[in-house]
Structure 1
Amino acid sequence: MTITQLRTQELRHHLDPHLAAMPADPWWLVTRTHQFAAAAGITVDVVLDAVTWCRRTGLQVGRWWAGAAFVGEPGARVPVPLIYLNRQLCPTRGQAELVIVHEMMHARWPSYGHRKIAFDRAQQLLDVVPAPRS
């Protein structure tokens, strides 16, 4: 297991177990992504299919990618980052929460990469955004 995988597994969402086990439908994914973006102080667009991601970014999606963030190149950042979420690889709300904050850390703090501080910021987002009741 890589250090990135370990750090991602160490992230802790605050969803009740029954909510964490529920399916992450498109509404949930988009709504939660925008809630985490608001907490991070940014606006993002959310894409739930690989074809749209490729058309908008020019980048292919790996079959194993649960999510991705597109911010542009250093010195040529896009005004609104794009977040891709693969519904097949984040089927539950609990899994989706972790993927969303992982990609949010890249969208908000792109220079941090996968360093520990990036994951600390991701956990801070999980700690600040209230868990919904349903």
Structure 2
Amino acid sequence: MESKRQQKMASLLQQELAAVLQRDLPHLFGGGLAPAISAVKVTPDLGQARVYLSLLLGNNAADRLDIIKDNAKEIRHALAKRIRQTARVVPELIFFHDDSAAYAAHMDQVLGTLDIPPAPKDDEGDADDKPARPRLFKGE
């Protein structure tokens, strides 16, 4: 479970990293869209931050992730300029591909193709179809 300190730092890093990737370093993506940051997890000592990127838009997600990993030092430096008044130490950034949205879309497609027959109707119900009240005592 993350402490409030970790949560605050993760939230700050997520907001500022998004701004860095979109505004400060758009040249890394060759004019394409910058990846969205889906989550940031910070270690208890605030020394490392695991950054999960959603690379759905565009193709070659592995290539885009490699570009980001190769330029991690430049990204960290740009981040340090943005948060120097707020944070004393800028954590080491470790980037990961977050494919949970693609997995959710795939599962939605799989569930949409299933042929599930409707449940049979139960003819034994009362006319007003109210569920029977459970008995609490023997005399009821």
> Which of the two has higher C-alpha Rg?
2
> Between Structure 1 and Structure 2, which shows a larger proportion of helix residues?
1
Q: TM-score by structure 1 length?
A: 0.34
Q: TM-score by structure 2 length?
A: 0.33
Which structure's relative contact order is higher, taking Cα pairs within 8 Å and 6+ residues apart?
Answer: 1
